[in-house]
Every structure is written in structure tokens, then in C-alpha cells.
Amino acid sequence: MCILFSYTSLNAQGIKTRKLRGDFRFGLNFAEMDIQGGNMYKQPKIGVQFGGTVSYKVLGDFQLQTGFFITKKGLKQHENSYSVDRNSGITTLVDRRTWVDANYVQVPFNVGLEHYFTNNFALNINGGIYVAYGFKGLSNVTGTITTIAGTQTNVSDVNSGDQQTFHLTSLGQLKRFDYGAGLSVGAIYDIYGITMGYEYGLHNISAIAGDVRRNRNFYIGLGFRF
């Protein structure tokens, strides 16, 4: 244990003086979608992300950063609502769950600042843009729609079955390409780190005419530096 601690301490001191640094990270996503006119009933969809970044110190504590990540985003929405038609008096009850899995390959392009306060401890902040490509995912809608007209009650089941998220003829009809802005803050101790960040999608990922959807994601990850 003493040898291991000495090695990580010496390695951390060596990393501190290097201009080029790499970080591997594994973490959790808390994703959702910004849906124009449909942001009700949403819940964070928990997914994972893993990958790494490469940072290069260009001047003092200022750095450029890029990387490569596999990240799971999407949508979790449970609509539980009712409405009454004033003309007919018919009441409609909707209990519908929407689940969208959207897996992306993502590459960030950031500028940032990282400062070592001691030989072992540093804080950093990075911000910039990202580009992503959706490669896999399944989507489905399940639930019931109940209509009540006087003493008559009719219940209709909703079950789309699993559909390919990124296939243009399936449920969801998401475009594969995405881009946006991101901001992260992190702390490094020896070779270990923790990072929190937020991603704000700028591209309308819906392929349906008149539908506007953009990715949103908060994440937290643990990693190590090499």
C-alpha cells in the first residue's frame, strides 16, 4: 500500500508538470428532452456515459480539450391527465408512458482553465461545444386512453411495441446527428477525479415536421488521470 501510494503521488506530481494529459471517466446521465409545447410530465432519464478526454496546456493554466464518449440519453415521460369537451361533455383520461433510448457517440471541443493548488489537488472548468451521432436505441409508448360519455366508458390500450429510435419510419423519428454546448467543473486529487457538467442541445433532433425536440443532460462522473 505504501509503494502504491508513493507511486500515485509521484505520478500525480509528474502529471502536474505535463502539458498533455488524459482522463478516463465513467458516470451517470440525467437526461431529458426539451419538447416545444410538450414539456409536461417529464422525469429525468438515468443513463450512463464512459470515455475519456485529452487536455493540452497552451498557456499557464489555460487548456484545450477534446475527447470521445459513448453516452446514453433520451426521454422518460408519464402523462396522467384528463380533459372535458365543453360541447359534448365527454371526459378523456390519459395515462400514457413514453420511453426513448438514444445512444450517441459524442466528441467535445472545449477551452478551459485548470489550476493546481497543491502538488496533488487541482480544480478545473471547461466549456465549449460537442457533436454527436446516434447509433442505437429503442423507443415505445404504453398506456390507456379512457373516454367517459354519460354512463358509457370506453378504455383503449396504447402499446406501440419497441421501435428503432433513429429509424425514420419508427416512433420518435429522431435524427442521428446532434450538436450543442456544454460546461463542466471538476476536481482532481492525485490521479483521481470527479466531474459534473451540463449539456444543452442546440439542434432540433426530431425528424417529424412541426415537432421540435432538443437534448438536455446533466451528468456526474468519476475517473482517473494518466
SS (H, E, C) the chain: CHHHHHHHHHHHHHHHHCCEEEEEEEEEEEEEEEECCCCCCEECEEEEEEEEEEEEEEECCEEEEEEEEEEEEEEEEEEEEEEECCCCCCEEEEEEEEEEEEEEEEEEEEEEEEEECCCCEEEEEEEEEEEEEEEECEEEEEEEEEEEECCEEEEEEEECCCEECCCCCCCCCECCEEEEEEEEEEEEECCEEEEEEEEEECCCCECCCCCCEEEEEEEEEEEEEC
Is 143 exposed, middle or buried, given 0-12, 13-18 or 19+ CB atoms closer than 10 A?
middle
Judge whether residue 209 has pLDDT over 90. Answer: no
Judge whether residue 78 has pLDDT over 90. Answer: yes
Residue 176 in grid coordinates: 442521428
| Alpha carbon of residue 52 to chain centroid | 16
What span, in angstroms and rounded, lies between the C-alpha atoms of 94 and 41?
A: 12
- Tell which phi-psi region holds residue 143, choosing left (phi > 0), alpha (psi between -120 and 50) or beta: left
Q: What mean pLDDT do residues 145-171 have?
A: 87
Considering only residues 13 and 192, tell me which one the structure prediction assigns the higher pLDDT. 192
Query: If pLDDT is split at 50, 70 and 90, which confidence band does 140 have?
Result: very high
Q: What mean pLDDT do residues 184-193 have?
A: 97
Q: What is the pLDDT of residue 3?
A: 46
CB 217 within 8 A of CB 178: no
Judge whether residue 142 has pLDDT over 50. Answer: yes
Please provide the average confidence, as pLDDT, over all residues in the chain.
91
CA-wise closest residue to 103 among 79, 74, 142: 74
- Domains of the chain by start residue, with CATH: 2-225 (2.40.160)
